[in-house]
Amino acid sequence: DSSLHRRKLLRLLGRQAVELAGEGHGIVIKHGTDTVNLSAATLALMGNEMWKYPVVLTGSIKGPERPNSDAHHNVITGGFFAAYGDASGVFLCDLMVL
Tens-digit pLDDT profile for residues 37-95: 888 888 888 877 778 888 888 877 777 778 887 788 888 888 888 888 888 888 887 76
pLDDT in tens, 6-50: 778 888 888 888 887 777 678 888 877 777 888 888 888 887 777
Query: Is residue 5 pLDDT above 70, yes or no?
Result: no
Question: pTM of whole model > 0.85?
Answer: no
Distance between first and last Cα of the chain: 24
Q: How many helices (H) and strands (E) would you count in the chain?
A: 3, 3
- pLDDT at position 90 is 86
